[in-house]
Structure 1
Amino acid sequence: MDGNQFKGLGGCPVNHGGNTAMDKPVTKWWPNALNLDILHQHGARTNPMDADYDHRAAVKALDFDAVKSDVKALMTENQDWWPADWGHYGGLMIRLAWHSAGSYRMQDGRGGAGSGNIRFAPLNSWPDNASLDKARRLLWPVKKKYGNALSWADLIILAGNMAYESMGFKTFGFGFGREDIWGPETDVYWGSENEWLAPSENRYGDLENASTLDNPLAAVHMGLIYVNPEGVNGQPDPAKTAHHVRETFARMAMDDEETAALTCGGHTVGKAHGAQVGVEIGVEPEAAGIEHQGFGWANAEHGGTASKAFTSGIEGAWTKEPTKFDMGYFDYLFNYEWQLTKSPAGAWQWEPIDMPDSEKPVDAGDGSTPRNPMMTDADMAMKVDPIYNEICKKFMADPEYFKDTFARAWFKLTHRDMGPRANYIGPDVPNEDLIWQDPIPAGNTDYDVAAVKAKIADSGLTSAELIATAWDSARTFRGSDKRGGANGARIRLAPQKDWAGNEPQRLAKVLGVLEPIAAETCASIADVIVLGGNVGLEQAIKAGGHSVEVPFTPGRGDASDAQTDADSFDVLEPFADGFRNWQKDEYAVSAEEMMLDRAQLMGLTAAEMTVLVGGMRAMGTNHGGSKYGVFTDREGALTTDFFVNLTDMSYSWHPMDDGSYEVRDRATGEVKWPATSADLVFGSNSILRSYAEVYAQDDNAEKFVRDFVAAWTKVMNADRFDLAA
């Protein structure tokens, strides 16, 4: 065949754009369709590791000292293709670690440094992350050398720590153990804007009130980590900026002192880059041509000169000695008056008045020419805001206190989404339990599990009460930052005991029965709550005509009020639970979308979500005993009735004025069951229906029970990090 065979057909046999241009093709054509991509991410099909690869075991075999030594050495190994400021990459590596961790937000636990997500879109191409592609490429030789055991997620944060240590600062500690993901996290909502740095009004109810920033967002613009360094909406006003700094850091679980320490300690080293006028900076990595090989923000004028790098457009160092951790930031900020000006690139910044050349930092490239330092609007907020000013004065009066506060805040910033200390690996893990790690004491394993189960079975509590209590205790788990879950039994403490979704009256009744059993048998109440759920489930399985023992591993501990940061736990409150067919109020998003979000946070697949919903409906565990979606005449038994009746064409489905539905007998018109959209979606969505049909088949009743038990056990053990230690 000759090369002209495709003439008249566009000259090419390839379906242009068929695999790349049409992102999420189903929702492109049918925008109201339920998008299940959130439950299909990072599975076996995207992970290049062997099926039996054990990352934690691999990490434990690392030569930690050698890794740290190699990372520290590269800080001063200057590369011609991207030369270091003053011959030291420390500032760049700290920024890489900071921006990797800084995408974390407390509301849903998403973002953060725990998965190496900064390697992928959109984070790798955010304007705020300009030139961090270079930092990752500088680290590649170390990653290449140590391979699978050294994840990118660990290496990026370790680089920040080693940068600080190479510049004279003693960090609080470091934990290895983060595991990389292998593709973009499309489940993370970064905002609704369609352009970078769109006006802040798009994500605030009232821009004058920083607390009206849309949840779960924590950054003021699309494509930024925190606040606009030039001021709110690019308009300098340090007093106003201070309010937005306070809000964005609070959404990362940082208080005022931690916020001030991070700002001041982060800007004690390194510089911002924007020294050139009228330079055409290329597109971000995701938009760059193949020949750029993953690099973005091309700068034809760079010419291998450190001082000509371009990132934010702001230009200058914050201190006289930018490769040394010292108190120079405070010396500059408080000992000089500052005036508003613009960088050579045209960005708003603050520069000192009447600073002699002898006190200025020198050029990052030639190492001799005096250059004006600068402060961003957020830096000036540390001086102008009375609360931050007082904190900074305290730091200045006690440098050791500042260093300790910063070290702890930096550790929190870079480890916040790793969960409890059981997930940390390596010789530099601090021994101290920190309240933001949600500490839980070790639980007892030396008790008679069978005897506890017998007491629960004889307690008079119903299967539905036991199952609902265990579920509510476990469902708070978030794989995003590894918080929540049944371990610790925090469902019995404030604020969880009073959450509407936990049915406080029913919860108090069940705990009043289970707590004495725990005390009598020396089991933790956390274990007894989960065992109670298992007992209820086994009773439901038996009622459905099967006999299966639900797996159980003892050893959960009971957290105390003193070990629980109640304010921090407020964000874990569920406002909807599709598994128990409940939502607290009416919301802009549908019940089924909230169910997907909860399932993803719990680490469930679409198939696991399906089997759990169907089983929970059949067992009658709806919130408040609601009958919505209980498509069975055998309520209380674990059966496939939900799926059988959902797919039975003897019935029809009718929307009601209140947003609910009725399932009616086609022949008689009789209302058989009420339903919600979170029920009927398993019949309307083509993917979910395919799962529902599996369980509706006559040959899969036993499979359904096995699959339900496996998914249930996964939820109950989601936070048992001690089992993998």
Structure 2
Amino acid sequence: MRDTEKASGCPFHTGAATTADPKNDPYAWWPSALNVEILHQHDTKSNPLPGFNYREAVRTLDVEALKADLRKLMTESQPWWPADYGHYGGLFIRMAWHAAGSYRAADGRGGANTGNQRFAPLNSWPDNANLDKARRLLWPIKKKYGNKISWADLIVLAGNVAYESMGLKTYGFAFGREDIWQPEKDVYWGSEQEWLAPSDQRYVDLDNPESLENPLAAVQMGLIYVNPEGVNGQPDPSKTAQHVRITFARMGMNDEETVALTAGGHTVGKAHGNGNPAHLGPAPEGAEIEDQGLGWLNKTTRGVGRDTVTSGLEGAWTPTPTQWDSSYFELLFGYEWELTKSPAGAWQWQPIGIRPEHMPPDPEDPSKRTMPMMTDADMALKVDPIYRPIAERFWRDPEYFSQVFARAWFKLLHRDMGPRTRYIGPEAPQEDLLWQDPVPPGPRDYDVGAVKRAIRASGLTVPELIATAWDSARTFRCSDYRGGANGARIRLEPQRRWEANEPERLEKVLAVLEPIAHHYGASVADVIVLGGNVAIEMAAERAGYAIEVPFAPGRGDATQEWTDVDSFEWLRPLADGFRNYLSPQYHRLPTRQRPEELLIDRAHLLGLTAPEMTVLVGGLRVLGANYKNAPEGVFTDRVGTLSTDFFVHLTDMRYRWAPLADNRYALIDRESGETRFTATRVDLVFGSNSILRAYAEVYAQDDAHEKFVRDFVRAWTKVMNADRYDLRP
């Protein structure tokens, strides 16, 4: 968090991003075509370790030996990249902070959970300048422990151990992050075509920080959170405070956690801007082949140690940059501060009348003293009427500050790991925390067959059961492992009132299923899923196939007390193409994705492949699962029968399609001119997009009926079990 980028006079303001090559990328020729490539991200072809189970391997790791090696590394300064003050702690903390700090609550993407900092664009972001050096410093340790430790775990563990080595009692640490092996093309970082483009491009109104485009959290392209020089590089702590508040809220942090993280992140380490930024070479992705993936190299003058240029800001925040203490607050509140510029030309604040004992040492010569500094975000803690009382309490009570920071730091590092049941290792805390969305274990020894018979006899319809089970499970996000059917939070606030969940229908179904659950000793969560399974079995029978949808009992029922209502609002569906739902809010957005693009996004968050998405949409349509029984896309006269009718009619050239109104189309018989069915863009994309049509044609074939039923059941079960971590090795 220490070295962030500046917008004006920035050494890494590199101009327009590289565009696609039309010779190799069809989307460069037809940019409006639906891009389904993000669904191929779930492919394993790029994985060099097929069949390897990291979660089993990391359980065999000698954690104490690994941490001992990390502590030793902290103070073994390397000539090719010297450690500030003889301690790499500040660099490793910034590496961990920037890996985890890219998380945003709106869609759960970003964060440290995949080791994505190793790949573009993050490895070459302006805000991540020189973190390539931190990862290279860690390479001997990664090499030693091999596949027992992922890069994703090692990157954040290094930051945690760094704090411990500087005197902080951390809250704990959990292993279990698995590496990816290619860039995450599914993450939308913004529409800007140049690094650090003015913030105006991602706000409807820059004076209203809440107008920051969703799902973004950072204020500019290439930053982790806010510009340290001020909004758009113009110092104004009061204005910066408002943007800090929204940015950290988008990262899932409250005001106290925000102050703690800002102050705690700047209690150690330093920023680097003591040199000429013009001497720096390109970022890692643009570096010469002989640089071997290292970027921002200074091949003109000395560019390491005290002469390093990273963010352009220069100096340490405290006189003790390798110790965990409260000196950050002593300087922040103990002095008046004035604007100045670093040697690299960046805006920063310096104290007036600084006393020698409050001056940090030179990073290479401890006998020399240097001027401390603060960023605009630091000064925001001093002037903001909400932040200041929190910071003053931390100043008065250092022990309280340490405790709050330790918990906030733990949350930052683990926010995208999901529930505590996914944590691995001897230092994983046993305490349940609200932001982990805890769910108690559910019963497993009840009579599943009896429950299914009771559901069949309940009088609930196939569409009612299907819609309720789907709505319960569709909140799952593979990005941060939140949501899903486990916990049955669909019966709690805020989900119970979500328009997308059809509250009246939901209340009717719950009024029937909850007594069944209580009578047979099952969880409501299990019975909701079983209801969907029973409906599919009934629909398959009507199609002539006797099947049993796989089911594993054990889901628990969450409580309202352990449900963070505000946090769960991030999971509210803006759209759900699987049920042909578009929120009224969608039509009020100033800029918006097309409905079919929102379908792709939801499918990706559910962990689905393109074929799985295709078979689910076709099946849900004929089962009558549309929002409020809307007719669009229901290309069948046998609603409630698990048939291939959706695909058959979609691909039948006896019909033509014609637009009716916004997002409504008519299927017209070419001979009679009569309207046969109606559809939305989400329906028609399976006939218009060449890739999706290829999948649709598979299921439209005369020999595909049984395959369709079995494929639908497999995809359905995958969604229902997406959050069943107890079923995974």
Q: Same fold (TM over 0.5)?
A: yes
8 Å CA contact retained: 2:21, 2:28: no
What is the one-letter code of the residue matched to 2:631? K
Alignment-derived partner of residue 9 in structure 1: none
Greater Cα shift, 335-344 or 601-610: 335-344
Alignment-derived partner of residue 14 in structure 2: none
Structure 2 residue corresponding to 1:662, chosen from 666, 670, 686 = 666
Structure 1 residue corresponding to 2:693, chosen from 674, 689, 692 = 689
Describe the SS at the equivalent of 2:561.
helix
Task: Give CA deviations for 1:332-381 in whole Å, capped at 9, x if unaligned.
Answer: 11111111100111100011111133331111012221100100010011
Task: Give CA deviations for 1:402-425 in whole Å, capped at 9, x if unaligned.
Answer: 100000000001100000001110
Describe the SS at the equivalent of 2:530.
helix
Structure 2 residue corresponding to 1:630, chosen from 616, 634, 651 = 634
8 Å CA contact retained: 1:42, 1:183: no
8 Å CA contact retained: 2:279, 2:301: no
Task: Give CA deviations for 1:488-508 in whole Å, capped at 9, x if unaligned.
Answer: 000000110111110100000
Alignment-derived partner of residue 31 in structure 1: 31
What is the one-letter code of the residue matched to 2:32? N
TM superposition shift of 1:170: 1.1
Task: Give CA deviations for 1:11-59 in whole Å, capped at 9, x if unaligned.
Answer: xxxxxxxx98459712100111000111111412111112x22121111
TM superposition shift of 1:211: 1.0
Q: How does 1:235-634 map to 2 (within 5 A)?
A: 235-277=234-276, 279-300=278-299, 303=302, 305-585=304-584, 586=587, 588-634=592-638
TM superposition shift of 1:647: 1.2
Greater Cα shift, 587-596 or 153-162: 587-596
Greater Cα shift, 619-628 or 504-513: 619-628
Task: Give CA deviations for 1:496-553 in whole Å, capped at 9, x if unaligned.
Answer: 0111110100000000000001111110000000000100110011111101100000
Alignment-derived partner of residue 15 in structure 1: none
Describe the SS at the equivalent of 2:527.
helix
Describe the SS at the equivalent of 1:664.
strand
Q: Give the whole-Å Cα distance in 2 for the aligned partners of 1:569 and 1:676.
A: 28
Describe the SS at the equivalent of 2:348.
strand
8 Å CA contact retained: 2:22, 2:29: no
TM superposition shift of 1:278: 5.7
Structure 1 residue corresponding to 2:652, chosen from 648, 659, 664 = 648
Q: Give the whole-Å Cα distance in 1 for the aligned partners of 2:300 and 2:107.
A: 42
What is the one-letter code of the residue matched to 2:33? A
Q: Give the whole-Å Cα distance in 2 for the aligned partners of 1:684 and 1:724.
A: 37
8 Å CA contact retained: 1:82, 1:304: no
TM superposition shift of 1:722: 2.0
Say if 1:159 and 1:296 are closer, same or farther in 2 by CA, change over 3 A: same
Q: Give the whole-Å Cα distance in 2 for the aligned partners of 1:591 and 1:304.
A: 49
8 Å CA contact retained: 2:419, 2:436: yes
TM superposition shift of 1:152: 0.8
TM superposition shift of 1:175: 0.5
Q: How does 1:673-688 map to 2 (within 5 A)?
A: 673-688=677-692
8 Å CA contact retained: 1:630, 1:673: yes
Alignment-derived partner of residue 189 in structure 1: 188
Q: Give the whole-Å Cα distance in 2 for the aligned partners of 1:60 and 1:39.
A: 30
8 Å CA contact retained: 2:337, 2:352: yes
Describe the SS at the equivalent of 1:418.
coil
Describe the SS at the equivalent of 2:80.
coil
Task: Give CA deviations for 1:272-310 in whole Å, capped at 9, x if unaligned.
Answer: 000114642111111111111111111135637411111
Alignment-derived partner of residue 16 in structure 2: none
Alignment-derived partner of residue 43 in structure 1: 43
What is the one-letter code of the residue matched to 2:176? G
- Higher relative contact order structure (alpha carbons within 8 Å, sequence separation ≥ 6): 2
Q: Give the whole-Å Cα distance in 2 for the aligned partners of 1:416 and 1:101.
A: 8
TM superposition shift of 1:69: 1.6
TM superposition shift of 1:168: 1.0
Alignment-derived partner of residue 147 in structure 1: 146
Greater Cα shift, 663-672 or 128-137: 663-672
Say if 1:685 and 1:479 are closer, same or farther in 2 by CA, change over 3 A: same
8 Å CA contact retained: 1:26, 1:33: no
Greater Cα shift, 82-91 or 204-213: 204-213
Q: Give the whole-Å Cα distance in 1 for the aligned partners of 2:248 and 2:301.
A: 34
Task: Give CA deviations for 1:83-110 in whole Å, capped at 9, x if unaligned.
Answer: 1001100000000000001111111111
What is the one-letter code of the residue matched to 2:518? A
Alignment-derived partner of residue 75 in structure 1: 74
Task: Give CA deviations for 1:414-441 in whole Å, capped at 9, x if unaligned.
Answer: 1000000011100000011000000001
What is the one-letter code of the residue matched to 1:236? P
Q: Give the whole-Å Cα distance in 1 for the aligned partners of 2:74 and 2:469.
A: 50
TM superposition shift of 1:615: 0.5
What is the one-letter code of the residue matched to 1:48? P
Greater Cα shift, 704-713 or 205-214: 205-214
Q: Give the whole-Å Cα distance in 2 for the aligned partners of 1:664 and 1:49.
A: 51
Greater Cα shift, 603-612 or 146-155: 146-155
8 Å CA contact retained: 1:42, 1:182: no
Q: Give the whole-Å Cα distance in 2 for the aligned partners of 1:397 and 1:238.
A: 23
Alignment-derived partner of residue 62 in structure 2: 63
Alignment-derived partner of residue 716 in structure 2: 712
Q: TM-score, normalised by structure 2?
A: 0.95
8 Å CA contact retained: 2:579, 2:620: yes
Q: Give the whole-Å Cα distance in 1 for the aligned partners of 2:386 and 2:689.
A: 53
Say if 1:281 and 1:571 are closer, same or farther in 2 by CA, change over 3 A: same
Q: How does 1:210-229 map to 2 (within 5 A)?
A: 210-229=209-228
Q: Give the whole-Å Cα distance in 1 for the aligned partners of 2:158 and 2:42.
A: 25
Alignment-derived partner of residue 705 in structure 2: 701
What is the one-letter code of the residue matched to 2:87? H
Q: Give the whole-Å Cα distance in 2 for the aligned partners of 1:302 and 1:62.
A: 43
Alignment-derived partner of residue 107 in structure 1: 106
Q: TM-score, normalised by structure 1?
A: 0.96
8 Å CA contact retained: 2:268, 2:323: yes
> Is structure 2 residue 122 aligned with structure 1 residue 120?
no
8 Å CA contact retained: 1:83, 1:304: no
8 Å CA contact retained: 2:20, 2:28: no
What is the one-letter code of the residue matched to 1:241? T
What is the one-letter code of the residue matched to 2:624? G
- Where in structure 1 are there 5+ consecutive unaligned residues? 1-18
Greater Cα shift, 645-654 or 570-579: 645-654
Q: Give the whole-Å Cα distance in 2 for the aligned partners of 1:384 and 1:653.
A: 60
- Where in structure 2 are there 5+ consecutive unaligned residues? 1-18
Greater Cα shift, 180-189 or 267-276: 180-189
Greater Cα shift, 501-510 or 206-215: 206-215
TM superposition shift of 1:149: 2.4
Q: Give the whole-Å Cα distance in 1 for the aligned partners of 2:405 and 2:565.
A: 24
What is the one-letter code of the residue matched to 1:647? T
Alignment-derived partner of residue 53 in structure 2: 54
TM superposition shift of 1:683: 0.9
Q: Give the whole-Å Cα distance in 1 for the aligned partners of 2:492 and 2:661.
A: 39
TM superposition shift of 1:657: 3.0
What is the one-letter code of the residue matched to 2:699? Y
**Overall identity of the aligned pairs, in %:** 66
Q: How does 1:10-21 map to 2 (within 5 A)?
A: 21=21
8 Å CA contact retained: 1:279, 1:301: no
Say if 1:480 and 1:85 are closer, same or farther in 2 by CA, change over 3 A: same
8 Å CA contact retained: 1:302, 1:309: no
